[in-house]
Structure 1
């Protein structure tokens, strides 16, 4: 689902919530006055707080998607601010219900109880269906404000169940109305506290959860150019995530390194939902041993500087182990290939002949690159030739040191 489609879906659900809460508020308030039920009036207050909250949700979802030069990272946190405001509405609703239930001196007599029960059953079924559907949408869209809205609609359903039980008790002659109202207040307060904590954490730039960070690390390490991850920092704003990553990469040309970083960024955005931006800082690293570049033709055979179409780079450790990195496609041009080889921090270039141009040989010499001529045509044979020579050199060096 694209960013635009996500935005339209969020607005649709926020608008639906607004319509639902408006309808329930009016319905409950009218019948609360008609029946005189404190629990039903508490539910009307609850629904009114949800109505205001839904209005804030709809406005915040629209504002959060806008970007400007003054807010280059977007206004995504408007969603989290809105969810905190919503939590205060829930606290207020709980307070009003408790106050009315236990500190009011006015005696309430519930009339037409059967009508109150019918209204609450309708509200209960409606809120149950809508809250579950909106919660599913909130998870798919990764929207904290929709999740917050679904939470209080769910709290509305639970409180409706309690109110229905209280009204049935009242209908049977037991005075349960105010106790049902008090239980509703507890549901509302609990929901508000969870929403408040979640919104506050994001405003304080809480990190991504450990499971998601591990998934990000796994994706990064799948790229063979990555030697190590120095650190990953991630934060959430609204529905979106921002990543700050520092990597140690094998040495390549500047162009190739940019390609590798772009590839990592693209894969992260594809596999991790709702990433707004990825900032990757990278540093070159050299392991003990040396780096060899092999010039290959279109048939993957060792060739010279004039006919090479691919450069394959291999890192060889002190104990002779090999890591072959991704290849570079090049044009068969001696000067251009020499320029590339002098900039990618290699020790040896393996070719069938030395470069003919003096300037190319001189630039490679200045860069500390040794040209290794070989009569081997097969890549593996040429690689083994280098490794065997290197290991023989190390054995002789060890004997001399002894």
Structure 2
């Protein structure tokens, strides 16, 4: 059975090979087919290669076990890679937009495209949607932020190609302004995706909590563990694809230290067994008389 990192590496290598081929044929089609929109789209595909290589680097670092300098492991390398990928997307989007915007005021430099970039564009969309599908499938399965970012990079490339095709067809019909205008639209798609990934990865780097629904589910698991009177506090923080959980439970103050430890151990095991994305659970135990007024009077273990 493949590990999460082997699955991620496998799908990323496939993406790199496809992107190398697409970059070459797009740039050739854009140059010989007289399409600025296809040239811009080719540069976008070239950035896909760099981001996919970044994912591979992140995978290689993330799978390393904890060490003296990184007591909590290296999983945040995936989030860091996603953050860098978002910056690459923003840069590529801005570059495409600026170059296309300049051409809007220099339409005499815009040539009428031929059929070559049109054919290449259609083929590219099919390949990029295939890349998005296989990448997002693995990303959701292993909960990888960097792979999700890379998947959306593939989708943004597909959307940018659609925009390029609209511009190419319009220019072929005599509306030259549509070719550079398509480049501007493409850039907006890329920038939007880049901003979304930037916000998500930034939150994770600042120990963003897990989703409320997941938090509520784990809180209920703790509450339903024998011997737990109440959950006084529940905190979570993301760590790459994984998460850490810290909670304080209330127990009967008359039980032994051993029994209190057993309750805490059961809470930890129950939460860990409920999800593959929980790396560690820390449970603090307090006697209910010093804990809170909301304690449920459950039967002692």
Is the TM value for this pair above 0.5? Answer: yes
Q: Structure 1 or 2: larger strand share? A: 1
Runs (4 or more) in structure 1 with deviation over 6 Å come to none
Report SS of the residue matched to 1:95. helix
Deviates more, 1:66-75 or 1:246-255: 246-255
Residue deviations 1:267-320 (CA, integer Å, cap 9, x gap)? 111213311111111123359xxxxxxxxxxxxxxxxxxxxxxxxxxxxxxxxx
Between the two structures, name the one with larger relative contact order (CA 8 Å, sep ≥ 6). Answer: 2
CA RMSD of aligned residues (A): 1.9
Map of 1:313-324 to 2, 5 A cutoff?
Answer: 323-324=298-299
Other-structure match for 2:40: 42
Note the C-alpha offset of 1:224.
Answer: 2.5
Question: Is the Cα contact below 8 Å between 1:87 and 1:193 reproduced in 2?
Answer: yes
Contact 1:13/1:146 (8 A) holds in 2: no
Match of 1:123 in 2: 124
Find out whether 1:162 has 2:163 as its counterpart.
yes
Provide the rounded CA distance (Å) in 1 between the counterparts of 2:71 and 2:12.
25
2:16, 2:76 → 1: CA distance?
21
Aligned partner of 1:145 in structure 2 is 146
CA deviation vs aligned residue, 1:222-263 (integer Å, no higher than 9, x gap): 112001111111000110100111111124333333332222
Q: TM-score, normalised by structure 1?
A: 0.68
**Structural mapping, 1:360-399, within 5 Å:** none
Structure 1 position 33, deviation (Å): 1.7
Are the equivalent residues in 2 in contact too, given 1:53–1:149 (CA < 8 A)? yes
Task: Note the residue ranges of structure 2 that are not aligned, 5 or more in a row.
Answer: 291-296
Q: Give the conservation status (yes or no) of the 8 Å contact 1:167–1:177.
A: yes
**Structure 1 residue 16: deviation in Å?**
2.2
Task: Say whether 1:182 aligns with 2:181.
Answer: no
Equivalent residue runs for 1:3-402 within 5 Å = 5-66=3-64, 67-103=66-102, 107-111=109-113, 113-175=114-176, 176-250=178-252, 251-285=254-288, 323-326=298-301
Contact 1:134 1:150 in 2 (8 A): yes
Instruction: Quote the Cα distance in structure 2 between the aligned partners of 1:20 and 1:282.
Output: 53
> Number of residue pairs matched?
289
